[in-house]
């Protein structure tokens, strides 16, 4: 049953890969992942171009709270860009007329995910400003990017 629901949700997302989806944010998992309810389907969405601290990592819970303050229970506009290896829709998400990834990076609650973000992305300058002003995770003496933290946890 669960696989059938997941397959149906992926079919909806797959059919709308370039089309915008509208839905209410029903869950914020962490600082870069949320679930929306669109056309009676729950769709797990990973914010494009950013990587937020994991929940067990410094600033992980603060990052989730930051995204929740912006998006939890709100109508959202979701523009899918890809599907990741976990089956999540990778997308640009806007809540309250604010781009969620931009909000997270500007607040110091996420890194620009250099592996995926385009070179000329305005996110880089927002991250530089957050770092210079020691906002959020940049207030820590030596913040560890989540991709490095995850790699260390595997070892």
**Residues 6+ away with beta carbon under 8 Å from 68:** 28
Q: Return the structure tokens found at 125.
A: 């300058």
Catalytic residue among 88, 96, 133, 135: 88
Does residue 127 contact residue 112 with C-beta atoms inside 8 Å?
Answer: yes
88 is known as an active-site residue = yes
Catalytic residue among 44, 54, 64, 92: 54
Q: What are phi and psi of 116, to 5 degrees?
A: -120, -25
C-alpha span between 105 and 49 (Å, rounded): 10
| Residue 66 burial (10 A CB sphere; 0-12, 13-18, 19+) | buried
**To 10 degrees, the CA torsion angle through 58, 61, 62, 64?**
130
Catalytic residue among 46, 65, 134, 135: 46
46 is known as an active-site residue = yes
**Active-site residue list:** 46, 54, 88
């Amino acid at each position: 049953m669960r696989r059938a629901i997941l397959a149906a949700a992926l079919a909806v997302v797959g059919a709308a890969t370039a089309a915008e989806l509208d839905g209410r944010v029903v869950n914020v998992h962490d600082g870069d992942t949320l679930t929306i309810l669109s056309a009676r389907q729950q769709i797990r969405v990973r914010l494009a171009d950013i990587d937020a601290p994991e929940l067990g990592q410094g600033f992980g819970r603060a990052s989730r709270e930051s995204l929740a303050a912006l998006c939890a229970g709100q109508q959202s506009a979701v523009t899918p860009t890809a599907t990741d290896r976990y089956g999540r829709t990778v997308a640009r998400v806007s809540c309250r007329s604010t781009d969620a990834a931009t909000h997270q990076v500007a607040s110091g609650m996420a890194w620009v995910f250099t592996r995926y973000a385009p070179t000329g992305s305005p996110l880089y300058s927002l991250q530089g400003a957050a770092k210079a002003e020691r906002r959020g995770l940049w207030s820590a003496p030596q913040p560890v990017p989540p991709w490095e933290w995850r790699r260390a946890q595997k070892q």
